[in-house]
Amino acid sequence: MMVASNQYAFKGTLLVDEPMAKHTSWKIGGKVDKFYTPSDIDDLAKFISDLPADEKIIFIGLGSNLLVRDKGVRGTVISLKGSLSDIEPLDDNCLRVGAGASCAKLARHCHRNNLIGGEFFAGIPGLLGGALAMNAGAFGGETWPVVKSVITINKKGEIFNRTACDYVINYRSVKGCENEWFISADLQFENGDGDAAALRVKQLLAKRAASQPTGLPSCGSVFKNPENDYAARLIEACGLKGRSIGGAVVSEKHANFIINTGNAKACDVEDLILLVQKKVEKEHAVKLQAEVKIIGEADNE
């Protein structure tokens, strides 16, 4: 249901009882109480500071790393899709990029402007905010090494300038400043040959499309790679390719992907995640850690 935004004196768009399945790449997820897309930073600050103090707030990008449980999310989801997406050149090969800019747009901007070091963003089907939260990476590159500083917002609508020193950053993990969310980042690149970079990226994407089920509903890699090994190798060695629960199946093309074949529920995916973890631990004594973020109410809550 759509609520006229001016009824609330906010400039963004507020949806209530919004199915999260419409906002995740798995196309799975129950309803969220409130789903807000801000029009700009001031509007975002006003909206979140007006929410009740105990309201649960979750920021999302393109939901490309999110499993939303079937009973949905109590509280407010702030979506940056279509919002805060400006890319502004600063001095010295540096860009100020809104957290709502897509990683693909950022990669394109870099190579069109002969900036090098951001090619890996082309492999991440999310927004910059999600990439910052995940330290997303591809093709040997990662988000945080190109970050000079970030701007964040808290629940009171206060704005902060942060640097990498304020966080503990690891492979697909960023911890620190827990009650703040990313609204933009200053990213540092090098001067170089944009056309050559674009060609390299095209080749890497083609290689990836040959080995991953990129066109099907998934969240990419479900598990982090354990040190010195690959989650996909371990899962495949357990004979789990093609293993399904309900509408969720371990991809035949790449064992670290779980596909929604059309009617999967979040509980199917979550059960399959647990099954894979148990089997890999039993057969290889490795405890796989989920890369995907799981949110929302479970059936027993």
Ligand X SMILES: Cc1cc2nc3c(=O)[nH]c(=O)nc-3n(C[C@H](O)[C@H](O)[C@H](O)COP(=O)(O)OP(=O)(O)OC[C@H]3O[C@@H](n4cnc5c(N)ncnc54)[C@H](O)[C@@H]3O)c2cc1C
Residues 6+ apart with CB under 8 A from 77: 18, 20, 23, 32, 34, 35, 36, 57, 58, 59, 60
**Does 138 interact with ligand X (rule: CB under 6 A)?**
yes
Q: Rule CB under 6 A: say whether 169 interacts with ligand X.
A: no
Of residues 114-133, those binding ligand X (CB under 6 A): 123-127, 129-131, 133
Among 21, 95, 136, 201, binds ligand X (CB under 6 A): 136
14 vs 127, which CB is nearer to ligand X?
127
Which residue among 220, 248, 249, 288 contacts ligand X (CB under 6 A)?
220
Whose Cβ is closer to ligand X: residue 10's or residue 121's? 121
Inter-CA distances, 45 with 13, 52, 170, Å: 14, 14, 29
Of 44, 62, 122, 258, the residue at the interface with ligand X (CB under 6 A) is 62
Rounded to whole angstroms, the Cα distance separating 211 from 232 reads 11
Q: Which is nearer to ligand X, 66 or 279 (CB)?
A: 66
Min CB(90)–ligand X separation in Å: 20
Catalytic site includes residue 252: no
Dump the DSSP string for 159-193. EEEE-GGGSEEETTEEES-TTEEEEEEEEE-EE--
Residue 221 designated active-site: yes
92 Ramachandran zone, left/alpha/beta (phi>0; psi -120 to 50)? left
Handedness of CA 66, 72, 75, 76 (dihedral sign): positive
Both tokens assigned to 289:
């850690």
Q: How far apart are CA 155 and CA 176, in angstroms?
A: 15
Q: Give, as ranges, the residues between 75 and 94 that touch ligand X (CB under 6 A).
A: 80
Q: 276 or 279: whose CB is closer to ligand X? A: 276
Size of the site for ligand X (CB under 6 A): 32
Beta carbon nearer to ligand X, 131 or 235 = 131
DSSP code at position 289: P
The catalytically annotated residue of 69, 108, 172, 270 is 172
Query: Does the footprint of ligand X cover residue 64 (CB under 6 A)?
Result: yes
Q: Which of 10, 181, 189, 223 binds ligand X (CB under 6 A)?
A: 181
Longest dimension (CA), the chain: 58
Q: Does 63 bind ligand X (CB under 6 A)?
A: yes
**Catalytic: 172?**
yes
Q: Rule CB under 6 A: say whether 47 interacts with ligand X.
A: no
Distances from the Cα of 232 to the Cα of 140, 239, 247, 277, 280, angstroms: 17, 11, 20, 12, 10
Q: Report if residue 98 touches ligand X, rule: CB under 6 A.
A: no
Rama region for 262: left / alpha / beta (φ>0; ψ in -120 to 50; rest): left
225 binds ligand X (CB under 6 A): no
Comparison of 185 and 238: residue with beta carbon closer to ligand X: 185
Residues that bind ligand X (CB under 6 A): 25, 58-66, 80, 99, 123-127, 129-131, 133-134, 136-138, 181-182, 214, 218-220, 293
Report, as residue numbers or ranges, the catalytic residues.
Answer: 172, 221, 291
